[in-house]
Amino acid sequence: MMVIAASDPPSRVQPQGEQRVVFHGLDWDSYLHLLRLLPQSRSSRLTYDKGLLEITMPLEEHEFARCLIERFIVILVEMLGLPLKTMGSTTLNYPQFQKGAEPDQAYYIQNQPLVKGRSVDLAQDPPPDLVVEVDITHTDIAKNQFYAGLGVPEFWRFDGQIWRIYRLESGVYVEGDRSPTFPQVPKDWLYEFLRMAREDEIQAMRSLRDRFSPNAPSSHH
């Protein structure tokens, strides 16, 4: 007879999206020094918030969601005729706030004309218009307060199952049902896109583009 210990981890039920290492009491200069020591090309991403440093190593489930959400956004921008400057996981450092981040995705859309054709200078340029974070496992960083503190107008969070959309209002995030950047797009479009992409990513992208065709049924829910 096989005996299953009561301490067997329940994590098999929920997919593991990231591995994280957290350091407490690290000052700003030490964080910058660590950044300089790390190679530019790496899969790990750093988030620093007033002495707390979290290093995230993404796993397959995380990277699937991150890459597909990026494709989703790029197709929406393309089909809606919007401008785009992709920042990816570029390090966003704000020494005045003692905050630094390498988000899963960051984009200039509304403010793309202000930063196109050159490197962004966060000392004088606005923050990205849209930041996306995939957090399937627990993070010690309070991401909503973190990005609200940086003044990011729109923040998406995806935990592997639920897509949350936040709009910055009076310095805090308010959750909404639709993206202020893409108000035409209901939330179930992303869920359907991710579901379809698990079987066929190319077909998922084709189907998303087809939603914008003149003959596509309109969505009013």
Give the tens place of pLDDT for each residue, 19-35: 888 999 999 999 999 99
Q: What is the pLDDT of residue 134?
A: 95
Structure tokens that stand for 79 in this block: 């089909």
Q: Of the candidates 172, 149, 136, 170, which has an alpha carbon nearest to the alpha carbon of residue 100?
A: 149
> What residues pair up with 46 in beta bridges, in sequence order?
55
Determine whether 128 is exposed, middle or buried from the number of CB atoms within 10 Å of its CB (0-12, 13-18, 19+). buried
Q: Region 93-121: what's the mean pLDDT?
A: 95
Whether 103 and 125 have beta carbons less than 8 Å apart is answered as no
Q: Of the candidates 67, 29, 28, which has an alpha carbon nearest to the alpha carbon of residue 49?
A: 28
Q: How many residues does the chain have?
A: 221
Give the tens place of pLDDT for each residue, 110-151: 999 999 999 999 999 999 999 999 998 888 899 999 999 999
Domains in the chain, CATH or no CATH each: 59-210 (3.90.1570)
Q: Cβ of 29: how many Cβ atoms within 10 Å?
A: 9
Of 73-77, 140-144, 165-169, minimum mean pLDDT range: 140-144
Stated as kind and residue range, the H or E segment containing 57 is: strand 52-58
Of 38-42, 101-105, 167-171, minimum mean pLDDT range: 38-42
Report the mean per-residue pLDDT for the chain. 89
How do strand 85-86 and strand 105-108 relate by DSSP bridges?
antiparallel
Rounded CA gap, 196 and 173, in Å? 30
Per cent of the chain over pLDDT 70 is 90
Whether 209 and 75 have beta carbons less than 8 Å apart is answered as yes
